[in-house]
Chains A and B, each alone.
Chain A
């Protein structure tokens, strides 16, 4: 970790380079002791990091949400669950690798787990279609959720996608229908659903697994109706204006919590989730379990009714 720096992280990169240089010298010659210098630099770095991350612009947050070292769904599977078994296929066409479904356990709590996986390196990214699901991915997700309903397990979904894949095959196989069907069925699923946006919440491709009782977002994740690039292309015929678009779209956690789009912002470790996987995972785990324990107190009828009301009230308008 810590090998990739975003453009705005240059000051952090410089200090960390100095720290590493000093450490290297120390290692080569055990008689030299730079520990106080290193400590001083680390303090400086922490201060800069904190200041930078406290004042991120919306576009910078988009970059953090897409950071190449940010924990991905597979990291959560590996680190949050005590055990996990994947299952495959939508039973109609094929297995979509950009959505992973399976059974997982945290302590005594068994979950049906659904999530979008972008892939870490080039090979994985191609295998996972960059985390952009085809219709069969959403159908597999729904199959998993229906199973959760049948066998009385809560559903936990992890959202991380630029969006549903815009391609010819997807259109032929009903991308729109697949997403619509998930919204339709999830709205009345008779078991608790908790969704965590861990990176990018890209439009319908995200919502199709996030019609939940509780929608939680990691601090530096985003959730939007359209990507800043596409928005900039449409409005200004210039995808380079994504900074402006990111700001205009109000896609950060701070914007969204005010409109009741999400229930809770899960704070990230200093310098973003990618700088400390353990701390990120612990926070996510604790938050999810806390929300589940609240939801578990509700009867199924009440739970479904409350989920309906949760989405029913969303929207802003005036009466004249």
Chain B
């Protein structure tokens, strides 16, 4: 009966290969090990499978705006907790402070102007790491101010979207930012100003249903999720599984809602080409 007293063994799962965090990283999509320097040189795109990882706002600006020419604007605006919104765990005001500390950003959009291949442009870039890139009063205001600045200074406007939609912590005031930004874009459009909308992963909800879809040209980054309603909500209301490419950049291209799907490394050249052709 020795087997009764024998220690029991179980199959031990081999631990995930520990990779030196500073030097290597794993692609979240294909699990390939990529040299960090290559990852960064490739603009956070996997050189094995082409997966486009999220870029924060300042890294994005670096990929688009000529070095040393970017001037940040309107960065003195910060959100306030008008509704005294409390989500059960913490107050919106506390969450804002924590998010600011963590991300070193003041809000979910960075605005400014600079040169794109030598041409002066107005640019607003959303940052998903700040409250899921959600649009509250400050995001709406900064984007509107950028649109107005593009109009006043006769610069082409580029907005790079990355957002979960309207920020519910600011209630109806968030919703109204959709109208505010769209109205400003109408003014720009009536003055024949050029607006190029770049949609990156993810662009959804109230951002899709306002400025992101209103570009003279809409450009989607490869593989990006772009949609109005979230897939979980749709699955619930449809009670069926959605096709795998549903609400991707490629799906929107197929259905006629974006003009092109671009690789990240091509983006600057595409924007520069369009500005050369269309800007007055």
Interface residues of A (CB under 8 A from B): 164-168, 170-177, 179-181, 183-185, 187-188, 203-204, 207-208, 211, 223-226, 230-231, 234-236, 244, 248-251, 255-256, 259, 261, 307-308, 311-312, 314-320
Contacts and interface: CB of A to CB of B under 8 A. Distances in A.
A138 to B, nearest CB: 10
Contacts of B185: 184
A249 B171 contact: yes
B175 A203 contact: yes
Given A167-B237, A184-B214, A315 B172 contact: no
A289 B81 CA distance: 37
Interface residues of B, number: 60
Interface centre among A172, A176, A319 (most CB of B within 10 A): A176
Given A203-B175, A207-B175, A177 B137 contact: no
28 contacts: A166-B229, A166-B233, A168-B238, A174-B213, A174-B255, A175-B228, A180-B178, A180-B211, A181-B213, A183-B179, A183-B183, A184-B186, A184-B214, A187-B179, A203-B175, A204-B209, A211-B182, A225-B172, A226-B168, A255-B172, A259-B173, A307-B183, A308-B183, A312-B180, A314-B180, A316-B82, A317-B79, A319-B76
Interface of B: 76-80, 82-83, 85-88, 137-138, 140-141, 144, 166, 168, 170-180, 182-187, 189-190, 205-206, 208-214, 227-230, 233-234, 237-238, 242, 246-247, 255-257
Nearest to A231: B168
A176 B179 contact: no
Contacts of B76: 319-320
A168 B234 contact: yes
Nearest to A249: B171
B255 A170 contact: no
A115 B249 CA distance: 33
A168 B172 CA distance: 26
A119 to B, nearest CB: 17
Nearest to B87: A235
B209 A171 contact: no
